[in-house]
């Protein structure tokens, strides 16, 4: 009985603290997206202008872990089948954060735009002791600065 209570307390704490941390991170992402919105980032393989540019590879990388509550819920969903929306928010946060970090580096270089933007996502959860999902998202592209 004590073990069930401990698990219930841990899942409840994971829910509240994980939700708070995720909301705080999303708020930070939204604020930074608004400030970096003036720097375009596009997936196009060719630069949009024929001007002379200095080209520099820029990248942003992030590693994000899921909380215990979402892992518990995803385990239940995995058991019964269906869409695992808890992982979708994890990937969304990872992609948006990696893109912002890439744009911040491009802005530091004085770039006007970033083109040929690509994402790479990998799961590194197999190495964790508790089998908590951990993802790494890498965004990279070519920053252009007028000569």
51-55 long-range contacts, CB within 8 A, separation 24+: 51/146, 52/146, 52/147, 53/112, 53/144, 53/145, 53/146, 53/147, 54/144, 54/145, 54/146, 54/147, 55/142, 55/143, 55/144
- Each residue's pLDDT, cut to its tens digit, for the chain (147 residues) gives 889 898 888 878 878 888 888 899 999 999 999 999 999 999 988 877 777 889 999 999 999 887 767 777 777 777 777 777 777 888 899 999 999 999 999 999 999 999 999 999 998 865 545 667 788 999 999 999 988
Give φ, ψ of 130 to 5 degrees.
-95, 10
CATH code of residue 108: 3.30.110.70
Structural domain range at position 56? 2-146
Task: Quote the number of domains for the chain.
Answer: 1
Burial label for 71, CB within 10 Å (0-12, 13-18, 19+), is buried
Tell me the C-alpha distance between 107 and 103, whole Å: 6
**pTM score of the predicted model:** 0.82
* Residue 97 structure tokens: 């954060």
């Amino acid at each position: 009985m004590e073990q069930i209570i401990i698990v219930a307390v841990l899942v409840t704490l994971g829910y509240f603290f994980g939700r708070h941390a995720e909301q705080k991170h999303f708020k930070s992402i939204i604020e930074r997206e608004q400030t970096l919105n003036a720097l375009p980032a596009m997936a196009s393989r060719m630069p949009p202008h024929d001007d002379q540019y200095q080209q520099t590879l820029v990248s942003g990388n992030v590693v994000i872990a899921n909380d215990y509550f979402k892992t518990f819920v995803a385990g239940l969903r995995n058991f019964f089948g269906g869409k695992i929306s808890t992982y979708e928010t994890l990937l969304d946060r990872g992609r948006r954060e990696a893109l912002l970090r890439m744009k911040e580096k491009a802005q530091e270089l004085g770039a006007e735009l970033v083109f040929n933007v690509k994402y790479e996502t990998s799961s590194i959860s197999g190495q964790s002791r508790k089998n908590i999902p951990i993802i790494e998202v890498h965004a990279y592209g070519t920053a252009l600065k007028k000569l």
